[in-house]
Structure 1
Amino acid sequence: MSSRKISRLVPRDQKWLIVCLIAVSVVDSVLVGFDSSLMGSLNVMPTYSNYFTLTTTTKSLNTAISYVGGAAMSPFAGFLADWRGRRECVYWSALLALIGGVIQGSAQNIGMFIAGRCVVGAGMGLAQTAAPTLVAETTPVKYRGFALGLYYACWGVGTLLAAGVCYATQSLNSTYAWRIPSLLQAVPSLVCFGILQFVPESPRWLISHDRHEEAQEILGILNGGQHDEVLVQYHEIADTIAFEKEHNLSMVQALSKKSNRKRLLLTTTFSAIVMLPGTNIITFYFGDMLQGAGIRDPNTQLQINVILASWSLVIAVVSSWYADRLGRRWLCSASLALQIAFIFIFGGLTKVYGNSTDTSGIYGTIAVIFLYNAAYNWGITPLTVLYPPEVLSFEIRSVGMGFYTFTTKCCGLLVAMAVPFGLEAIGWKFYMVNGCFDVLMLLFVFSTWVETRGLSLEEVDSLFDKEKRAIVAEQVKEETKIELGQSTVVSKV
């Protein structure tokens, strides 16, 4: 057993440690949100378009290339997180984002800009695999929904910052005004470096690497020093990991198990629910949407984007607080149903008022964009990195999150490349097509999702692999009885 101790900088108080874990979600989310939303604002700025003399093709490429970097990194991100640890990978992701932002902000031509975006995308791919895994495996069940819900809720903070900075720099009327928002990507990375000094490694990862003493110390802090709870949780985690190691399955064998195939099915298809229901049309090409709705002034478009980002942020943060009040399955289904209604309404209003001067009709069309974003941020945003790590078992969690990140990036690449051509070719009908796809996603969720609310990551095993869960639960009871010298054990087991 390792004799190493956790860092002196890690808080020994339960509440402060949970605050630091939530801060990882917040800062990493701001970093991802700033990068993802930056292109939506840059695409509206004439200084950016004029500097690179953009066409529809180059505009799409510049926007989509970060997803290529993320997709290239994500297949390796899970293995890196298992090898080097979740916390260390979050550190390297922030460093990549910092380097990529500097290259992007100092770009002299489209090739250099694309290279910077690609490096930033690689950092985002690693971050979106490692950070949610770290927070999910470390945060107590009571706070897990809120902590992981905030991961993409605070994506709205990044969106708001990107929109605000672009709006402010647009007024400078400088050829190089677009460089400032790109260079400011460094700020969230630097904050992330600071917060990581106060965050420990995942106790589950530590146990899997035979660093049991550190893991027990962390679990002791997270459980407020309650010895009985620490023992139960420690043995539950240790025995589950030991069970998986004893069966000594290769990664290919682990992924081929029926229970794990279902876990991966739920995880990878969730990428489409996150990226393809219509929200990224707004994120990347809200300028094109507003033009289609009758708003053509760039300054007005940027002002609306700032207000929209603020609105989305408030909805997402509030919904994260209440994420555990409604089951995951019902929350996702209700959100998708509302999105379907609003995207159909938006398509219809765009058809009627897109080329008109009817002020009321134009404002009504814009209002539906706000309602759509509210529906998405209320239901999907809190689940984005909450549901996938919950349904994945430890043996495939980091690799599964890598797959999830990969499929998410591929979906994002599809949106970024296809949307401008789709809007250019069929206009308002594109929203109708997207709405029909959303109906299929709703039916899939309602028929296949399992409910994970209120369960520990090990208890979720009972939903997929009852035999494994029964064996582990019995071992936990026996080991805890011996250590506590009691005839009964905590009822949770």
Structure 2
Amino acid sequence: MGGYDGSILNGLNILPIYNDYFNLNAPTRGLNTASVFIGGFFGPLVSGPICDRLGRRPAIFWGGAFTIVGIVLQTAAQNIPMFVIARIVLGFGSILSGIASGVYLSETFAGRWRAWGVVGLLNDFYYVGALIAAGITLGTGQWHSTWAWRCPSLIQAIFSLLCILILPFIPESPYWLVAEGHLEAARIAIAQTNSNGEVTDPVTSTVYKESLDALSFQKSEHGKTMTLLQIARDKTARKRLLIGMSVGPFGCIAGNIIAAYYLGAELDTAGVTDRNDKLKANVVLNVWCLFCALAGTHVAAKWGRKSMAILSEILLVICLFIIGGLSKVYADNPNGASKSVVYGDVAAMFLFQGFYSMAWTPLMYLYPPEVMNYAVGANGLVFSQLVLHCFAVAFVFVMPIALENIGWKMYMINGSWDIVIVVLIAICWVETKGKTVEEIDARLKGKKHRSDEDSCQGLEEEEPDRYGRDVEEKTG
């Protein structure tokens, strides 16, 4: 859903008929595009209570319903205010269903599939939706009516509609059922998702027991979540929050927003001005990014999160400076620039997106829950989403204005920001690859503490919805 929405705006921003209909300039183009993140800012504020009180499936349902309302309004938009309001409603529904879906997947996927299910299906498949949207806008881009942009907008509702129709046929999260006291329903749900419906299967029994243990831990003194005020007063908790929430802003600042939402303007700086060429590049770019994201998820466990982030940022810095340099060459002599300059610039853009997708696409979902323990995680992840959407609103709005006014210099500025990010990651981040909760604590506190707290945190490590331990190892 998010991938489709991002790519559709990328395609629409390329279409003259969309820009002409709303009489867009750089600021209004940025407003139309960034407004979805305004709605996304409010989603995390209510997603937690809705998920906990109503259940994961109802939260997904209401998120999908809000999204469909936003899509209908966007399709029927007659002016910029109507379009912006539609995008805000769409953004709210999208983030509500997105958070609920992430929680649902993490709580229902069998342990051996959880990493691919949560990180792979939920985040890497951003580019599947993006590819579909890019293909649709490539086709409708040839139309000479407003349906060139209204049709791709309307098609977006299919995904939310399918999701709503499928919901009655899938089980509720077993973890939520246990928390609400529906123990027999939870056992049946666990059997459906772990052992082909066999309630007496050893795997079902083990996962069921782990769910009970995790709930018992959360109700204990050590399982209580910390408020944001408590987090702010505790040095280690504060460090966990700052490191975990840095992933979102770092991902925004890295430079991906340019190609994700304003590929047409970026290609203009490289000398690619034909509308069809831009739409085709959007399709190819999403195929390339999907491949890189899936590859990155596969190797994330081998390389380590911190090492992966540092290597990616260094490569992004190099690509941005190359893009900026070649774009300057073209800007200085647009009529006399050789084809090699244009091809080199486009190639560097593709490499940039590939390096970004390989590291930051999986890290966005993978790293924050690993560095935030249970006590910090609930409020910490919500606060991280709020910060992420604040940065997204600012950068998505400003980027077309910057590209129009300073052109190639924007790449140099962005590359300089990424150098700062490399330093911050190297100094502040902790490596979580292969680390236990105790070992991560040791890095954050400067010493190991083998108190009763750690013995309770051992239960946390077994918690099915957060750490994905493969129970088949225990059942033989």
Other-structure match for 1:114: 84
Distance 1:427 1:242 in 2: 55
Q: Secondary structure at the match of 2:337?
A: coil
- Cα distance change on mapping 1:121 and 1:249 into 2, 3 Å: closer
- Cα distance change on mapping 1:213 and 1:332 into 2, 3 Å: farther
Other-structure match for 1:62: 32
Distance 2:59 2:123 in 1: 19
Does residue 226 (structure 1) correspond to residue 206 (structure 2)? The answer is: no
Does residue 294 (structure 1) correspond to residue 271 (structure 2)? The answer is: yes
| 8 Å contact from structure 1 (residues 223, 229) kept in 2 | no
Residue among 336, 349, 359 paired with 2:326: 349
Does residue 123 (structure 1) correspond to residue 119 (structure 2)? The answer is: no
What is the CA deviation profile of residues 265-313 of structure 1, one whole-angstrom value per residue up to 9, with x for unaligned ones? Answer: 1222111122220111111111111111111111111111111111112
Residue among 324, 330, 336 paired with 2:301: 324
Distance 1:248 1:204 in 2: 17
Residue among 182, 194, 197 paired with 2:153: 182
Q: Secondary structure at the match of 1:385?
A: helix
Other-structure match for 2:454: 470
Distance 1:116 1:419 in 2: 21
| 8 Å contact from structure 1 (residues 71, 406) kept in 2 | yes
Distance 2:9 2:219 in 1: 46
Other-structure match for 2:19: 49
After TM superposition, the structure 1 = structure 2 runs for residues 164-183 of structure 1, keeping only pairs within 5 Å, are 164-183=135-154
Q: Secondary structure at the match of 2:220?
A: helix
After TM superposition, the structure 1 = structure 2 runs for residues 128-139 of structure 1, keeping only pairs within 5 Å, are 128-139=98-109
Residue among 83, 86, 100 paired with 2:70: 100
- Computed over aligned residues only, the root mean square deviation of the Cα atoms, in angstroms, reads 3.0
Residue among 408, 426, 441 paired with 1:428: 408
| 8 Å contact from structure 1 (residues 78, 399) kept in 2 | no
- Which residue identity is paired with 2:358? W
- Which residue identity is paired with 1:164? G
Q: Secondary structure at the match of 1:90?
A: helix
- Cα distance change on mapping 1:346 and 1:332 into 2, 3 Å: same
Distance 2:387 2:433 in 1: 24
Deviation at 1:387, TM superposition (A): 2.0
Q: Secondary structure at the match of 1:450?
A: coil
Deviation at 1:217, TM superposition (A): 4.5
What is the CA deviation profile of residues 75-121 of structure 1, one whole-angstrom value per residue up to 9, with x for unaligned ones? Answer: 23233333333332222212111110111011112221111111111
| 8 Å contact from structure 1 (residues 152, 381) kept in 2 | yes
Deviation at 1:58, TM superposition (A): 1.2
Q: Secondary structure at the match of 1:386?
A: helix
Does residue 146 (structure 1) correspond to residue 95 (structure 2)? The answer is: no
Other-structure match for 1:22: none
Q: Secondary structure at the match of 1:408?
A: helix
What is the CA deviation profile of residues 149-175 of structure 1, one whole-angstrom value per residue up to 9, with x for unaligned ones? Answer: 222211111111121111101112223
- Cα distance change on mapping 1:107 and 1:139 into 2, 3 Å: same
Distance 1:474 1:269 in 2: 26
Aligned residues: 449
After TM superposition, the structure 1 = structure 2 runs for residues 361-380 of structure 1, keeping only pairs within 5 Å, are 361-380=341-360
| 8 Å contact from structure 1 (residues 81, 398) kept in 2 | no
| 8 Å contact from structure 1 (residues 97, 185) kept in 2 | no
Distance 2:215 2:441 in 1: 14
For normalisation by structure 2, the TM-score amounts to 0.85
Greater CA deviation, 266-275 or 367-376?
266-275
Other-structure match for 2:163: 192
What is the CA deviation profile of residues 419-462 of structure 1, one whole-angstrom value per residue up to 9, with x for unaligned ones? Answer: 12222232211111111111222222233333444679999788
Distance 2:267 2:50 in 1: 42
Residue among 361, 365, 377 paired with 1:385: 365
- Which residue identity is paired with 2:455? I
Distance 2:140 2:49 in 1: 40
For normalisation by structure 1, the TM-score amounts to 0.82
What is the CA deviation profile of residues 115-135 of structure 1, one whole-angstrom value per residue up to 9, with x for unaligned ones? Answer: 111111111222343222332
- Cα distance change on mapping 1:195 and 1:323 into 2, 3 Å: farther
- Cα distance change on mapping 1:119 and 1:360 into 2, 3 Å: same
Distance 2:233 2:183 in 1: 30
Deviation at 1:42, TM superposition (A): 0.5
The gaps in structure 1 that reach 5 residues or longer are: 1-30, 477-489
- Cα distance change on mapping 1:206 and 1:398 into 2, 3 Å: farther
Distance 2:368 2:343 in 1: 37
Does residue 437 (structure 1) correspond to residue 408 (structure 2)? The answer is: no
Distance 1:471 1:71 in 2: 37
Distance 2:459 2:355 in 1: 44
Other-structure match for 1:339: 316
Distance 1:302 1:371 in 2: 18
- Cα distance change on mapping 1:248 and 1:284 into 2, 3 Å: closer
The gaps in structure 2 that reach 5 residues or longer are: 196-200, 461-472
Residue among 185, 203, 220 paired with 1:243: 220
Deviation at 1:180, TM superposition (A): 0.4
- Cα distance change on mapping 1:458 and 1:130 into 2, 3 Å: farther
Residue among 128, 133, 147 paired with 1:162: 133
Distance 2:140 2:369 in 1: 39
Question: How high is the sequence identity, in percent, across the aligned residues?
Answer: 33
| 8 Å contact from structure 2 (residues 254, 414) kept in 1 | yes
Distance 1:79 1:211 in 2: 19
- Which residue identity is paired with 1:126? L
